[in-house]
Structures are given as structure tokens and as C-alpha cells.
Amino acid sequence: MDTFYVITNYLKDPELETAGYIKEYLEQKGKKCYIQQKETKDPLSQYKYTDAQRIPADAECALVLGGDGTLLQAARDLVDHPIPLLGINMGTLGYLAEIECRNIKPALDKLITGEFSIEKRMMLHGVAWHQNRQMLSDVALNDIVISRNGRLRVVDFNVYVDGVYLTSYSADGIIISSPTGSTGYNLSVGGPIVAPQASLMLLTAIAPHTLNSRPIVLPEDVEIVIEIASSHGTDMDGAEATFDGDTSVKLNAGDKIVITKSERKVKMIKTKNTSFLEILREKMNN
């Protein structure tokens, strides 16, 4: 690679110290490096934090400085852009961001010499409906979470898979996770961990009010419908659907969200030969 684009979390790199260090190192190697400038976002724009149209045409990869949250934001903003992403962790745990700050130089050297691979990650697509009217359509790399909205109480959910009723939950919420998101919120509520290269969907209830609720693993090509049930009879049974902890939409009794595998994928750069199991062991032993 010869041309790089740096996306940085300005809260974690406010003076652009790390971004500047990367730019200087690459330019010393005779490479070109752009740093995303901090700008006031146009409220009418579709992107969240990174305007893909501002990425130079010759950029061959995006180096994302921050934590997993920053990488999730970049992945969603650049989902229609062919550029692959490499996460550099400036946060705490970091399952998505592959490189730690102390290992920046070796990682950059591998990008320059072509010693890397590109891994494609499955995304989820969700559409929220109210009385046959579409309220929101968006994608998620990690998960779509439907949880209670407002006062402390459980929400009743009906779950359908490919048009067939599966089960009902009374719970604090439901997580529909991709393989990449299995080590996120899904993990914290006891959901299964799966390799990020897999292509499937995980359905995990949050604090279900039952003794026999178990996470469910479903094939990649199914359609999952989560309906907000009206067991308590009023709009106080409402909930909120959140995509990767970012965009959200409120749902009331009778509303539903339809979740399928997205046609789009995120390209993640791998510079290490470390297996997912090794990474998992290292992170969970911290």
C-alpha cells in the first residue's frame, strides 16, 4: 500500500499526536497519508461521523484510531465505500481494533510490504415498521438491540422466523447479533461467542423473566421479526431499537422490526496470524 487515510477519535487523540505520528512515519517511508479533519456535521447528511465522499480517491485503506466504538462508526459510514479498515486500539478492551498503539510501526510496515489479509464481516440490516409505514432502515456490524424505553419494567416481545412464530419473551430487551457482535453486548448477557468470519445470527434475550430462556443461533439467510406485544394494553409497552449503539427508533405496542443479513459487508485488515481463539483468550484473561 502507498496511500493511507487516518480516521481518529478526537476525544482519545485530541491533539492528533498519534495520527500525526502515523503520518510522519509513513511519509518518511515515501508513502502518502491523509488525516480526517474534524468538521461540524451537516444535520441533513446520511453519515454519522465520517463523510466517505471526503476520502481521497487514491486512499487504499483507512486506519481507524480509537476503540471498538470508533471502528463501528467508521464501518457503518464507509459501508458503501470499497476501502478496507484497520483498527488501532486506543481504548480499553478492544475486540475489533486489532492493533495496540505500541505495535503501530510493525503494523504499518506490513501494510507497506503487503503482508496482510482482508477479512469480510457480515452485517445486519434492520427495518422498523409502524402500521405498514417504514420508520427507519439501517445496518449494523455488531448488533441491533431492542430494549425497554422509559421506566423500569419488562417488555413483551413476539419473535417470528421466516414468518413462523418462534417464541415470546418478557424481558428487558433482545439482542440480535452478528458474529462480529458476539463478543459485545451479546457476550455480557451470556450469549454464545462465535468466530467473526462466520455467517449467522444470534438471538439473545436480556434478563428474561423465565427460567428456561436460552440464546438461539440462526442461519444467515433467515428473516427475523421482533414484534412489540401489547400484553399490558397501552403504549407504555414501548421499546427502542438501537443499531450498533448509535441510531435508534422508538417502537410502541404493535410495531415491529424486521432483521435480515445485509447485502453489504465490511472489509477488515488483518496484519497478524493470531487466531480468533488466541485473541479471545488474551482479551478474556485481562
C-alpha atoms less than 13 angstroms from C-alpha of 152 in its C-beta half-sphere: 1
Nearest to 30, CA basis, from 103, 82, 84, 108: 108
Catalytic site residue 68?
Answer: yes
CA distance linking residue 189 with residue 207, whole number of Å: 8
Give yes or no for a contact between 146 and 226, defined as CB atoms under 8 angstroms apart. Answer: yes
CA distance linking residue 142 with residue 107, whole number of Å: 24
Beta bridge partners of 126: 138, 259
Question: Exactly one of 13, 42, 51, 68 is catalytic; which is it?
Answer: 68
Give yes or no for a contact between 259 and 75, defined as CB atoms under 8 angstroms apart. Answer: no
CA distance linking residue 173 with residue 145, whole number of Å: 7
- Per DSSP, the residues of 4-73 read EEEEE-TTTSTT-HHHHHHHHHHHHTT-EEEEPPP-PPPTT-S-SS--GGGS-TT--EEEEEE-HHHHHH
What residues are labeled active site? Answer: 68
